[in-house]
Amino acid sequence: MTMAGLSDMTLEELAANFEALGDWEARFGYLIDLGRELPPMAAEDKSDAYRVHGCQAQVWMKFIPRPTANGLGEPVMDIAADSDAFIVKGLIAVLLMLYSGKTAAAILRIDGVQSLARLQLAEHLSPTRKNGLGAMLKRIRELATAQAAACTY
Amino acid sequence: MSAPAAQPQSTCLAESVRADFPALAQRINGHPLVYFDNAATTQKPRAVIEAISHHYEHNNANVHRGVHTLGNRATTAYEGARDRVATFLNARSREEIIFTRGTTESLNLVAATWGAAHLRAGDVIVLTQMEHHSNLVPWQMLARRTGAALRFLPVHGDEGLLDLSGLDAALRGARLLAFTHISNALGTINPVAELCAHARAAGVVSVVDAAQSAGHMPLDVRALDCDFLAFSGHKTCGPTGIGALYARRELLEAMPPYQGGGEMISRVTFEGAEYNEPPHKFEAGTPNIAGAVGLHAALDYLDGLGRARIHTQVQDVTTYACERLREFPGVRLFGPQGERGGLVSFVLPDVHALDLATMADQQGVAIRVGHHCTQPLHDKLGVPATARASFYFYNTRAEVDRFVTVLRRVIQMIKGTP
Ligand SMILES: Cc1ncc(COP(=O)(O)O)c(C=O)c1O
């Protein structure tokens, strides 16, 4: 695939890529490919402690705080997540693009639903369907809120 | 019984009725809708939709109260629907039919009223391992309230047949046996009459969850000899928000009321109330009048086609779907090999049911994913989620063929082959 890989893509590029893909098959194929590129989650993290409920597939998600290079300022959050369904893995890849590597405060400023609506995906995969998108957005906010509370000093 | 007329070709039934269902004529995502989620709810024939509109346009008023013409029409329609449900189930009397919101409320009503009056700490409720959460959680709640215990009849393997070897032992000393007629996850058809007979012999009250059977086969509460039977209108071509509980008269008389309010009383003072007679005693507040009217039309519609014919048609499509699904290497089909309810749950190797259902929807095919409200059963089977295709008499073999073609394409996409 000639399109940019997961790690270095912005949501704008992703939106453009989805736009360029004409039909649902191409879009879902692309989403599944994004899911395949998802970094694997440690097997021991796929436990009840990190389980996200509210999806018809199994989903796990965890924040891994990473101190900034100079040790000053708030840590950024790397998000580790996985699912047993490919479409959900693809959705996770999209969410990581939007949220991962940002501070908790920055994460809380993002309007996930609105950002995702810009992708041509919205008509196929809305958060009201039981595909985990709504549950994952909620969990991201919860984890970020907990981190933000822990980080106030 | 007179000799049955020759069965018309089963697809003829489906084809002759399809025009009655406006929702089935739609295109979804550019494709003709293939609606295979009938175990969740069925589509509605025009006769039902029109009966509801007609009620609101001509007969709308509250029931049992007005002396005026519309009030009288509404009451006649509502009580006429009760008569219709009574004949649909072959109840001995119309008083044995209580209108509810559906199966779930019917079962909760039994748990709340019969349960409160009769269950004590140490009593035993017998269930099966294949129960829908609606026929499990109310009994768990009742057990917690009263200190009663739950006992489960086991289910065998992927075939999903009930193990009846320990039935009499399980019933010994028990007060209540509640079980599903047809499993919504496995398609198993349980031997209702046999289970009820054993319960009666042991002095145990029987409760039948007929959510999946009422719209699919003839039901006769006298022949089944059950004490309670619950079903939902929306799974029998009727509207949502209406269903019924059949309750044997002798049991009804001794049951305390369910909810308090209007309709359920005969006389109220500031200090207390005298309760109305059954069934009104169990129907507090303004009921779902239009729902009852719609249900009446739905039951007329089903009996117009004939429930035995419906069963035959659904069997044909279900058997065919099972055959076609077996073409997929490694597929795991749940449920009995022989006669089964109109559904099939399955898992495919390396393909999650959610991926299947999401992409099938892109091609107009509606199937269900998940544990189908039978989470303990899925835990036992060791599958977190299955895909389920469920059929009704308007579905055809040609739709099954399209479903299979769609599945093939989805699997190719997931496996990354062009
Ligand atoms: C076997 C069974 N029992 C109970 C129910 C609950 O029915 P309702 O949601 O209409 O109350 C269902 C519906 O899914 C069912 O399939």
Residue B135 in contact with ligand 1 by CB distance below 6 A: yes
Give B109 Cα–ligand 1 centroid separation in angstroms: 15
pLDDT of residue B3: 44
A1 pLDDT higher than 80: no
List residues in chain A touching B: CB distance below 8 A. Answer: 24-25, 28-29, 32, 36, 55-58, 84-88, 124-125, 129-131
CA distances from B231 to B40, B143, B383, B391 (A): 13, 23, 28, 18
Residue A10 lies in a domain: yes
Query: B243-247 and B97-100 as β-strands: parallel, antiparallel, unpaired?
Result: antiparallel
Q: Which domain holds residue A28?
A: 3-148
Residue A9: band (very low, low, confident or very high) from pLDDT cuts 50, 70, 90: confident
Closest Cα of chain A to B135: distance in Å? 22
Task: Return d(Cα B230, Cα B216) in angstroms, integer.
Answer: 14
Burial label for B144, CB within 10 Å (0-12, 13-18, 19+), is exposed
Residue B206 in contact with ligand 1 by CB distance below 6 A: no
Residue of A28, A86, A92 to mutate when probing chain B, most B C-beta within 10 A = A86
Whether the Cβ atoms of residue B386 and residue B353 lie closer than 8 Å to each other: yes
What superfamily in CATH does domain B9-44+306-415 come from? Answer: Aspartate Aminotransferase, domain 1 (3.90.1150.10)
Residue A27 lies in a domain: yes
pLDDT of residue B44: 98
Residues of chain B neighbouring A84 (CB-CB closer than 8 A): 352, 384
CA distances from A80 to A9, A14, A73, A98, A109 (A): 17, 20, 22, 13, 20
The CA radius of gyration of chain B, in Å to the nearest whole number, is 22
Output the residue whose Cα is nearest ligand 1's atom 12.
Answer: B211
Q: Which two tokens stand for residue A142?
A: 């919860």
Closest Cα of chain B to A46: distance in Å? 14
A144 vs A130, residue with greater confidence: A144
Residues of chain A neighbouring B369 (CB-CB closer than 8 A): 56, 130
3-state secondary structure of A29: helix
- Please identify, by atom number, the ligand 1 atom nearest to the C-alpha of residue B182: 1
Kindly determine whether residue B354 and residue A32, on different chains, have CB atoms separated by under 8 Å. no
Q: Which two tokens stand for residue B358?
A: 């999401």
Q: Measure CB to CB from residue A87 to each of B358, B370, B416 and give the nearest one.
A: B358
Cα–Cα nearest to B127, from B194, B179, B203, B195? B179
A153 pLDDT higher than 80: no
List residues in chain B touching A: CB distance below 8 A. Answer: 29, 352-355, 357-359, 362, 369-370, 384-385, 409, 413-414, 416
Handedness of CA B78, B236, B385, B355 (dihedral sign): negative
ipTM summary value: 0.86
Please enumerate, as own/partner, the contacts of B227-232 that have beta carbons within 8 Å and a separation of 24 or more: B227/B196, B227/B251, B228/B106, B228/B110, B228/B114, B229/B89, B230/B100, B230/B103, B230/B106, B230/B107, B230/B110, B231/B102, B231/B103, B231/B106, B232/B102, B232/B103, B232/B104
Kindly determine whether residue A55 and residue B352, on different chains, have CB atoms separated by under 8 Å. no
Domain parsing of chain B, residue ranges: 9-44+306-415, 49-304
Output the residue whose Cα is nearest ligand 1's atom 7.
Answer: B103
Q: Which two tokens stand for residue B211?
A: 């959510």
pLDDT of residue A2: 38
Instruction: Using CA coordinates, name the residue in chain A closest to B416.
Output: A29
Residue A8 lies in a domain: yes
Residue B38 in contact with ligand 1 by CB distance below 6 A: no
pLDDT of residue B6: 47
What residue type is assigned to position A30 of the chain? Answer: Y
3-state secondary structure of A147: helix
Give B203 Cα–ligand 1 centroid separation in angstroms: 27
pLDDT of residue B417: 65
Out of A63-67, A71-75, A86-90, B77-81, give the one with best mean pLDDT.
B77-81
Catalytic residue among A14, A34, A55, A136: A55
Q: Measure CB to CB from residue A85 to each of B354, B362, B409 and give the nearest one.
A: B354
Q: What CATH architecture does domain B49-304 belong to?
A: 3-Layer(aba) Sandwich (3.40)
Instruction: Using CA coordinates, name the residue in chain A closest to B418.
Output: A29
Kindly determine whether residue B362 and residue A124, on different chains, have CB atoms separated by under 8 Å. yes
Closest Cα of chain B to A117: distance in Å? 18
Our count of domains for chain A comes to 1
What residue type is assigned to position A34 of the chain? Answer: L
Residues of chain B neighbouring A130 (CB-CB closer than 8 A): 354, 369-370
Residue A153 lies in a domain: no
Cα–Cα nearest to B294, from B15, B42, B31? B42
Active site (annotated) includes residue B237: no
Residue A138 lies in a domain: yes
pLDDT of residue B338: 87
Q: Please give chain B's pLDDT, 418 residues, in tens.
A: 344 444 445 568 999 999 999 999 999 999 999 999 999 999 999 999 999 999 999 999 999 887 899 999 999 999 999 999 999 999 999 999 999 999 999 999 999 999 999 999 999 999 999 999 999 999 999 999 999 999 999 999 999 999 999 999 999 999 999 999 999 999 999 999 999 999 999 999 999 999 999 999 999 999 999 999 999 999 999 999 999 999 999 999 889 999 999 888 888 988 888 899 999 999 999 999 999 999 999 999 999 999 999 999 999 999 999 999 999 999 999 999 989 999 999 999 989 999 999 999 999 999 999 888 888 998 888 888 899 999 999 999 999 999 999 999 999 998 876 5
Give B179 Cα–ligand 1 centroid separation in angstroms: 12
Residue B340 makes CB contacts below 8 A (sequence gap 6+) with: B186, B187, B188, B189, B315, B318
Query: A76-83 and A102-103 as β-strands: parallel, antiparallel, unpaired?
Result: antiparallel
Residue A84 lies in a domain: yes
Handedness of CA B367, B369, B373, B379 (dihedral sign): positive
Q: Measure CB to CB from residue A57 to each of B29, B352, B413 and give the nearest one.
A: B352
Q: What is the largest CA-CA distance in chain A?
A: 50
CATH number at residue A108: 3.90.1010.10
End-to-end CA distance of chain A: 46
pLDDT of residue B32: 97
pLDDT of residue B370: 84
B273-300 in b/e burial notation, b at 16+ Cβ within 10 A?
A: eebbebbbbbbbeebbbbbbbbbbbbbb
Q: Which two tokens stand for residue B357?
A: 């259902």
Cα–Cα nearest to B74, from B90, B85, B58, B86? B58
> Rounded mean pLDDT of chain A?
86
pLDDT of residue A115: 84
The 3 state secondary structure assigned to chain B is CCCCCCCCCHHHHHHHHHHHCHHHHCEECCEECEECECCCCCCCCHHHHHHHHHHHHHHCCCCCCCCCHHHHHHHHHHHHHHHHHHHHHCCCCHHHEEEECCHHHHHHHHHHHHHHHHCCCCCEEEEECCCCHHHCHHHHHHHHHHCCEEEEECEECCCCEECCCCHHHHHCCCCEEEEECECCCCCCECCHHHHHHHHHHCCCEEEEECCCCCCCCCCCHHHHCCCEEEEEHHHCCCCCCCEEEEECHHHHHCCCCCCCCCCCEEEECCCCEEECCCCHHHCCCCCCHHHHHHHHHHHHHHHHHCHHHHHHHHHHHHHHHHHHHCCCCCCEEECCCCCCCCEEEEEECCECHHHHHHHHHHCCEECEEECCCCHHHHHHHCCCCEEEEECCCCCCHHHHHHHHHHHHHHHHHHHCCC
Q: What is the pTM of this model?
A: 0.92
Task: Return d(Cα B181, Cα B211) in angstroms, integer.
Answer: 8
Residue of A56, A120, A129 to mutate when probing chain B, most B C-beta within 10 A = A56
For residue A79, count other CB atoms closer than 10 A to its CB.
23
Residue B212 in contact with ligand 1 by CB distance below 6 A: yes
In tens, the pLDDT along A12-38 reads 888 888 888 878 888 889 999 999 999
